[in-house]
Amino acid sequence: MSSTVRRRSLPDLLNLSGRVAIVTGATRGLGRAIAQGLAEAGADVVVASRKADACDRVAAELTKGTPGSGTPIACHVGRWDDCDRLIDETIQQMGRLDVLVNNAGMSPLYSSLDAVTEELYDKTLGVNLKGPFRLAVLAATHMAAHEGGSIINISTGGSLVASPSQLPYACAKAGINAMTVGLADAFAPKVRVNCVQPGPFRTDSSRGWAPPEGEDVPFVPMGRMGRPEEIFPLIVHLASDASSFTTGASIRVDGGVTRKV
C-alpha cells in the first residue's frame, strides 16, 4: 500500500461545511465579522451574546445570506453557569462542536487607576478571562473525546504594550495569551489552540476615540485602522484544516502597532 498522502486543494482545506462553530460576542464588531466569515466558509455558527434578540437577528442573517447557518444561544460569558449551558446546548442542538472562537470582551473606562473598584476589576476579568477559560476547557474536553477541533482566543495587542487607561483589560488579555499556550499543550494533538491579537479596528466600540474615517492614523504604521472584514480570513484559516500544524501560536493583526515588541 502506498504511503503517499493525497494533497488537498486550498479551497478544500478551508471548507468548513458540516462543522459547528461557537462565536462569543458575535452580534457586533469583530465578532459579527468573524461569524460572517465562518458561515461564508460553510460552518454552522452558534451566535452567542448577552442579548437574545441580537443573537436571533444575526443568526437569521447568517442562515439567509451564507452557505452556512446561524443558531442563536444567548450567553453571558462572565458567568460559568452560562458557559456550561452554552456548550451543553450547542452539543444537544447541533450534535457536535468543532470550533470555538472566544471573542466576547469588555474594556471599561475609569478616571484613574485608584478609582478601579473591585466590582469593575472582577467583572473585567470575568468576561475577558474567567469565562473564556471555562468555555475553552469544556470545548476542548469535548473535542478531544470526539473528532478534534480548533479553539481561537481573541486577545489584543494591548496585552503586549499595556496602557494605564486599559490596564485591567490588558491584564486579562495577557492571561488569554498564557492560557492559549497552556491549553495547546494540554489538549494536543487532537485540539489546536491559537490566539489572535488585534490592534485598532474600526468598529462601533471605537467610535468614541477613533479618528474620523479617511484621516491618517499616525500611531499605526499602516496609516489607518483595520476593517472588521480584515480579520475573518485569519480566523477561517485557524479554524480550518489549512492550519493543521499550527497550535499555541499568537498572531498579531494590528497594522504594525506592536512591531517593536
The reply to whether 169 belongs to the active site is yes
Q: Give dist(CA 102, CA 69) in Å, integer.
A: 19
Report yes or no on 5 lying in a domain: no
What is the Cβ-side half-sphere exposure of residue 231, based on CA atoms within 13 angstroms? Answer: 33
> How large is the C-alpha radius of gyration of the chain?
18
The pLDDT value recorded for residue 162 is: 87
Report yes or no on 2 lying in a domain: no
Q: Which residues are CB-contacts of 127 (< 8 A; sequence separation ≥ 6)?
A: 77, 78, 104, 105, 106, 172
The pLDDT value recorded for residue 6 is: 76
Query: How many CB atoms lie under 10 A from the CB of residue 207?
Result: 8
The pLDDT value recorded for residue 216 is: 79
Domain ranges, residue 86: 16-253
Q: Which residues are CB-contacts of 216 (< 8 A; sequence separation ≥ 6)?
A: 223, 224
DSSP 3-state percent helix, strand, coil across the chain (nearest 5):
45, 15, 40
The pLDDT value recorded for residue 217 is: 82
Q: Which residues are CB-contacts of 128 (< 8 A; sequence separation ≥ 6)?
A: 105, 106, 169, 172, 173, 175, 176
169, 187, 201, 232: the catalytic one is 169
Q: Give dist(CA 54, CA 29) in Å, integer.
A: 13
Q: Give dist(CA 257, CA 233) in Å, integer.
A: 20
Which amino acid makes up residue 259? R
Report yes or no on 1 lying in a domain: no
> Could you list the mean pLDDT of each consecutive 10-residue stretch along the chain, which spans 261 residues?
70 97 97 98 98 98 98 97 98 98 93 96 97 98 98 95 92 97 98 96 69 78 91 97 98 90 78
Report yes or no on 260 lying in a domain: no
The CATH number of the domain where 29 resides is what? Answer: 3.40.50.720
The pLDDT value recorded for residue 2 is: 46
Per the listing, cell 478544500 goes with 12
The pLDDT value recorded for residue 1 is: 40
Report yes or no on 180 lying in a domain: yes
The pLDDT value recorded for residue 109 is: 87
Report yes or no on 226 lying in a domain: yes
The pLDDT value recorded for residue 213 is: 75
For the chain, where are the alpha helices, taking DSSP H only?
Answer: 10-14, 29-40, 52-65, 80-94, 118-125, 131-145, 167-187, 232-239
Report yes or no on 261 lying in a domain: no
Give the largest Cα separation in the chain, rounded. Answer: 69
Q: Which residues on neighbouring strands pair with residue 44, listed in sequence order?
A: 20, 69
Total count of domains within the chain: 1
Q: Is the peptide bond before 221 cis (omega within 30 degrees of 0)?
A: no
C-alpha cell at 122: 472582577
The pLDDT value recorded for residue 209 is: 59
C-alpha cell at 77: 460569558
Q: Which residues are CB-contacts of 225 (< 8 A; sequence separation ≥ 6)?
A: 200, 201, 202, 206, 210, 211, 217, 255
Q: What is the DSSP string of 102-171?
A: E--------SSGGG--HHHHHHHHIIIIIHHHHHHHHHHHHHHHTT-EEEEEE--GGGTS--GGGHHHHH
Report yes or no on 259 lying in a domain: no
Q: Using alpha carbons only, give the angle 107, 165, 131 rounded to the nearest 5 degrees.
A: 25
Query: Running DSSP on this structure, what letter comes out for residue 243?
Result: G
